[in-house]
Every structure is written in C-alpha cells, then in structure tokens.
Structure 1
Amino acid sequence: MNPYPPGFEEREHLRSAFIREITLQQLEVSKRAVEDLYVASALIPRKLVRYWHDPANLPKDVGACLESWDRLADDGFELHLFDDASAAVYIADTYGKREREAFARCSHPAMRCDYLRMCFVLAEGGLYVDADDVLVGDGWQHIFRDSKLKIQPLCYDVTAGGMMPNTEIWRSDLPRDGRIFYVNNDPIAAPADHPIIRRALFRATEKLLSEDRFPEIQSTTGPGNLTAALAVHARQLQLAALPFDFELLRDWDLVAEMRWDLSYRNDTRNWRNVYGC
C-alpha cells in the first residue's frame, strides 16, 4: 500500500510524516559521510532579498536587524530590500496578470512578503531572509557551495504547545506522535527556476485566485505552502530514484538569529495578532 498517495501533501498528518521521513533520510546520509554526487548546474547567486512593507515607517529595531546583513556587500552580494510598492512593480515587470492579481489579493504585509520572496527567488535566485533575522556569523558560505535549494526544518510540539529547538528535530528517536513536522520559508536559498519554488508559487497563486477571499496565510503563501510543494517534489524524486535537489539546514543558527523582542510584534503588523495564530 502506498503510504503517500497522490494528494497526500494536502493532508497534514501525511505531509508531516513525510517531512519527518526525509529529515531522517538526510540524517542517515550525513552519518555515513556519503560523498555528495549532486551535480550543480547553476550555483545560487549572491543576491540577498529582504522585505519591509512600509519604508517610511521602519522601526529602529527592525532597521538594526536589516543593517546587520549589509556587510555581505563586501562579499560580492547584491542587496535587495523590497516594500509593498516596489514588490508590486517587480512582479508586474517580471510576471503576468495572474501573479499581479494574486499579489494584489495578499491581505497582509506578511502575505505580500511571502509572495514576493517566491517571485524573486524563482526569477533570479538568491538568499531570502526575514526582516527580524540578524546576521551573526560567516556560516552562510556553505549555503552557496552548490545549487541545492536550502531551507530550514521546523517541528511544532502539539502537547507542549510550542516549537521544538532545531537540534531536537534531528533526534532519530523523536516520536512522530503529537508533533507536526514542516519546513520554514525563512531562509530560502536557491538558484533561479528551482522546481520547488516554481511549484510553491503556482500553488499560492492558485489559492489566492480562488473563490476564498480570506485565505489563511500559513497554508496559502507561508511555510505550509512551501512544505506542500517540497513534499510533492521530493516524493516524485523518490519514486524516480533520483537524488534530492534540496537540503534541510541543520545549522542555520550559526548564520542568523531571529529577534523576538521587536516592537511591531505587539500590533497588527504582526500577522499572528490579526489572524489569531
């Protein structure tokens, strides 16, 4: 019996089980120190993408987070900082009517940020980081060693009512029950036209243009959307006996630190305060 039938990515318990499976699969490969035979066709370009919806009202604490990344310009990075207006222009210039309309239907700055990052990374490649991430070291360099998409795994402990530390996710003895395994859409590092990002953008666009006028952010444009796209793609590679063209990051905390004590988290600029998540 096929444990992951077509459409499994839309069923949370199956999607979670599959993400857990491929996390452990990557862990086993790492333990065996198997040589990576994945051939890079186009390396991830050194383009850094960030977003803050309203540059005229940029909080000082968020500005400090953004500025921590500016030193990457000395390492040859192109630095891109989008807002609502420039994102709309970029999408209009780069994509078609469907994507323009989908972006216009994004009801919250976080949703518009989600959508823009997919549009930019699909079209140009690069590294996207959230505005509340602070650069803390030089661990970013290994992200650019090949053309695999790089994303961070996450796990929500239902019983404890909170996120599990990243180091715990990689425990081989961690039970699946009572936990939701998925991937984050921060960071995203990929070459242009990566099939997972292409699928994620298509899925988000379809959902935004559907009859549901108030789609839920997490599953429409956020981590849930990217997790579903990743699951479908990874399953296809498994069935074809092909190597994964993505990598789940184990040490993102050596690159960046998320700042939780930011002023905007207390008002409607924080999507969780609007949608009760």
Structure 2
Amino acid sequence: MKTLLGQNMVPKNIVQYWHKMPLPDDIAKLHKTWLHHNPDASIKLFDHEKASIFIKQEYGQDVLDLYLTAALPAMQSDIFRIAYCLAKGGMYIDMATDCLGAADNLFSYSNQLVVMRKWHGGIWNGLIVCEAGNPVLRKIWDNVLDNLSNKKFDDVWKATGPFSFNKIIDAEYENDLVGKNRDVLIVPQQEISKFFGLVNELEHKKTSHWSDIQKEKSIYKNKPTNIAMHKVQVSDELLGFLNENRVYFSPFGADKVQGRFRAGESLIFTSDVKIEPYTCYINGSFLYSFGSFSFSRSPLAPFVKVGRYCSIGARLSILGIDHPKSRFTTSSITYDRQAIICSQFFADHPELSNFQTNNTEPKNSLGVEIGNDVWVGEDVTIARGVKIGDGAILAAKAMITKDVPPYAIMGGIPAKVIKFRFSDAEIESLLALQWWNYNLKDLINFQSDIPIDEFIDNVKSNIATKDLTLYSPNNITMNELEKFLA
C-alpha cells in the first residue's frame, strides 16, 4: 500500500473491545499479538463498563441509553468501535484477529476512512482506521443510531453491524464517479493479510454466537433505568468478607465495627460498583469503583471511579450539582423534593404540588473518572464530568475544572499545567505500554527506583518475550455484596 502525501493526522491508537474481564485465554493470546508487534502504539482495551463511561462522556446520556438498549455484546462492540474512532480517531481492530506485523502503514492514510473488503465482496466492520470526525464514519454512526432508536431490524448484522458500512460506503463511491475527494479507502482482504489474519476457531463462537442468540430472543433491551443505590449495614461479618478479599477501611486492616465505624452505620454503593483487591477506603461510607493498589483519605461519592495505583489525599471535594440557570430562579425550590425548606413548604401548600420539575442541567448526570497512577493532594476540588488522565498529579488546593492530560502536574485556581512528569517520548511510551494492566509480580524484577527509561525498556522487553500476564483480579460487585443486604 502506498503512503498518501501529506501529514499523518491519524493518532497511533489501537483500540479493542471485549465485553467483560478477564479475557478468555484464546482472546488474551490474540490480544498479546497486537501488543507484541506494536510496542510504539497506544493500545487501549475497553470492556462494557469503560465503553459506557466513554460514550456518556463523548456523546451524552441519550446516546448511552441507545448503546445500553443493545442486548448482545456483539452489538455493543459494533457501536463502541464507531463511537471511539469518530470521537478520537485511530484504529479499531476486532479481537478475533492475529497480528502478524507492525500496523504502522495502516496509520499513514490521512483524510480517509480505511476499511477492508472481505474475499466474498462485503465490507467488514472489524477494521476501522481514520481521523476523528471522519465524515463517512459520521454518516455510518448516524445510521446505526437511527436503527437503534427506531429498532428497525431484528438482525445484528443489519442493526449495528457491517450493513451500515456497506450501505453508506457503497453510496459514497456511487456518488463519486470522477474519483476525486473520496473519503474512503477500501483495502482488499488479501492485501491486508500481511498485517493480520482473521481467526474463526474461538471458544465463544462455538457456544454463544450472535447469529444463534438472535433467533431465540430480542436483540434489544428495554430503555435502561437509573443505576440503583443500595445500602448495607456494617457488620464484622461484612468487614471480614471484604478484608479476606483484600478490601480495607484503615491503613492497617483487621477492620471491625468498633474501629472506624459505629454500630448501625451503613455502606452505600451502586448496582454497577466494581472493587478490585488491595484497595483501602480510609474515610467515608460510600463504596465506589476502585482499582487495585489505590487508597483514598477522602470520602467520595458512588459516581466517582478510581483507577489502579492511585493515592488520594484528604478533603478531596467533587463539586455539587449545577442549579438551573435559565429558570426565573436558581433556587432549589423549583426542583428539590427532599430538603426540609422545600418539602415543608409544599406540605404546607399542597395546591402547588405540580410546581416542581426535575433539574436537568447536563453536568448533573456526570461523574468523575480518575485514571491510573494518579496522586491527588489535599484539599483538591474537581468539577463534575472531569477526567483525570493516567499518571497525573494534582497539587494541594488545586481547582480542577477541565480534563487533566496524562502525566501532567496541575496546580492553582483554576488549575493549570505546571509541568509534566516525563518527556513527551516517555509519556507516549508509558501510555502505549499501560503497565498497570499487567500483573505487578511480573513487573517486579528490578528495584522500584530505577530511571523511567530503564523501566520502559524493561516492560517493552517483557512484552516482546511474552513474560507479562494481564492483571485480571476477582472483583467485588453487586453479586457479592447483595447477600449482606437486609
């Protein structure tokens, strides 16, 4: 394939999706081939939860609701791949592929959507390479959303799969008879086989292929409801269970009710909570999603998600909800049904019971996502909807109002980038490696204070020799906690 003239604007991201972790053994082995042959690329692996967060942040609640109406993992994968490439650009590659060499050449086509035409003539949606905002991919995206919104098809291939690619791309070529200004490059399967091969003999395809499942049940779910909140009373039995699973509530473990808790206190969590082992909630009564080797000295709300290897100082505050700005008053009297000053007024004046309406300010439904290897100093404030990039440091008393770049050191009111922890090349390598996704025991074959360039070389070498295994711990979820519910 020839490289087009002009500056390459396609980010060197290789993105894959699998609906839940840990990866099956055969899928994990294929995923490692992409890591092995593309050490300089940023390889990102999303599951259903991470994809849901991404879609909500990039497209909003209405699009997330459509994504969540897709009943089958194959459909969710179809939707997410378009959503990611349209928003961020890069390369999406299906999990059922065996990488045979570096994919560098696939990133060399600027201003075009690169797809593959399979041997039978149809366009495959398992490879997408493009810049963010590609106009043809946007048409495909709009078509898929329309299919979901109106439930046009009872067939996965047509509703979210390759059908929309074939429909839109074939129309683009028919409308471009002169051959100029084409936004699509279709590569034949035989030509692209030098980069990767398709793998069909996989365990999940033998037992749960979408083509069989859709014959037995609807491919759509009902519109999702709000995530439910749950409350469980603290007991020595509950704390003992959590400690056994390496979830702690004090720096020294051995948690008891008469320790930092009082008799009768409760822990509150959402139905989608996911807690990894080796985590410590030093303050607060909320169980939020928490990654391994992380601790927090601050009580955080359930809508916060914290990655692995994070250190969160005392008195971190997440800004409260936005008050409605376009109403005659910003007062909570127009929407708050719980606060005593509001509830008592309407109890005293029942004839006004229909006055209040929900507060639908857009940021109110957003959470805060804290990446991996993040250090948050004391008395930091973070606005709703903000994402803290991997490796970032937030200085004490910082007011964070915007997304924080990876490995940035932020400080001030409002916070600004003071500097970055490492050079651009080192940050690019660390983000590509995503070392926090590997077993720590496989990483620890050196002293912890080695220079960062030696660490990067060490991890690259271990990936190349396949000496690293992905870290897929057993998590505490609603399934484990519900047996303690009253």
The answer as to 2:82 corresponding to 1:109 is: no
Alpha-carbon spacing, 1:61–1:196, altered in 2? closer, same or farther (3 Å) = same
Deviations 1:107-164 (A, max 9, x none): 11010000000000001111111111010123x22212221221111254xxxxxxxx
Post-superposition shift, 1:236? 3.3
For residue 70 of structure 1, what is the aligned residue in structure 2?
Answer: 35
1:265 to 205, 217, 221: 205
Describe how 1:41-190 pairs up with structure 2 within 5 A.
Answer: 43-56=9-22, 58-72=23-37, 74-75=39-40, 77-138=41-102, 140-147=103-110, 148-156=112-120, 181-190=121-130
Contact 2:15 2:91 in 1 (8 A): yes
Higher strand share: 2
Flag the 1:73–1:211 CA change in 2: closer, same or farther, 3 A: closer
CA drift at 1:231: 2.0
Tell whether the 8 Å contact from 1:267 to 1:273 is kept in structure 2 after alignment: no
Which whole-Å CA distance do the structure 1 matches of 2:38 and 2:132 have between them? 20
Which of the pair has more CA radius of gyration?
Answer: 2
What is the deviation of 1:71? 2.6
RMSD of the alignment, in Å?
2.2
Please say if residues 115 and 187 of structure 2, whose CA atoms lie closer than 8 Å, have aligned partners that are also in contact.
yes
Task: Provide the secondary structure at the position in 2 that maps to 1:184.
Answer: strand
CA deviation after TM superposition for structure 1 residue 43, in Å: 2.3
Higher relative contact order (CA 8 A, sep 6+): 1
The whole-number CA distance in structure 2 between the counterparts of 1:117 and 1:103 is 12
Match of 1:252 in 2: 192
1:96 Cα deviation after fit: 2.5
Q: Distance in 2 between matches of 1:211 and 1:113?
A: 17
Alpha-carbon distance, 1:271 to partner: 1.1
Q: CA deviation at 1:73?
A: 5.0
CA distance in 2 between counterparts of 1:192 and 1:210 reads 26
Change (3 A) 1:39 1:60: same
Q: 1:217 aligns with which of 135, 156, 159?
A: 156
CA distance in 2, matches of 1:114, 1:203: 13
Q: Which runs of 5+ in 1 are unaligned?
A: 1-29, 157-180
Deviation at 1:211, TM superposition (A): 4.5
Q: Secondary structure at the match of 1:185?
A: strand
Residue of structure 1 in register with 2:136 after alignment:
196
State the match for 2:335 in structure 1.
none
Q: Is the 8 A contact 1:69 1:134 kept in 2?
A: yes
Q: What is the match of residue 229 of structure 1?
A: 168
Instruction: Give the whole-Å Cα distance in 2 for the aligned partners of 1:155 and 1:70.
Output: 27
Structure 2 CA distance for aligned equivalents of residues 211 and 131 of structure 1: 27
CA distance in 2, matches of 1:151, 1:211: 26
Amino acid paired to 1:74: P
CA contact 1:42–1:191 (8 Å) conserved in 2: no
Are the structure 2 counterparts of residues 105 and 40 from structure 1 closer, same or farther at C-alpha, using a change threshold of 3 Å? farther
C-alpha deviation, 1:242, in angstroms: 2.5
What is the percentage of aligned positions where both structures have the same residue?
Answer: 21
CA distance in 2 between counterparts of 1:68 and 1:108 reads 26
2:470 corresponding residue in structure 1: none
In the superposition, the TM-score normalised over structure 2's length comes to 0.41
Corresponding residue number in structure 2 for 1:173: none
- Post-superposition offset of 1:254: 0.7
Distance 1:218 1:40 in 2: 35
Give the aligned partner of residue 167 of structure 1: none
CA distance in 2, matches of 1:136, 1:83: 24
| TM superposition shift of 1:104 | 1.0
2:84 & 2:134 partners in 1: Cα distance? 12
Question: Where in structure 1 do 4 or more consecutive aligned residues deviate above 6 Å?
Answer: none
Structure 1 residues 211 and 271, CA, compared in 2 at 3 Å: closer, same or farther?
closer
Which of the numbers 181, 194, 208 marks the counterpart of 1:243? 181
Do 1:98 and 1:205's aligned partners in 2 also have CA atoms closer than 8 Å? Answer: no
Q: Which amino acid aligns with 1:112?
A: Q
Cα 1:237–1:42 shift into 2, 3 Å: farther
Name the structure where helix makes up a greater proportion of residues.
1
AA in 2 matched with 1:153: R
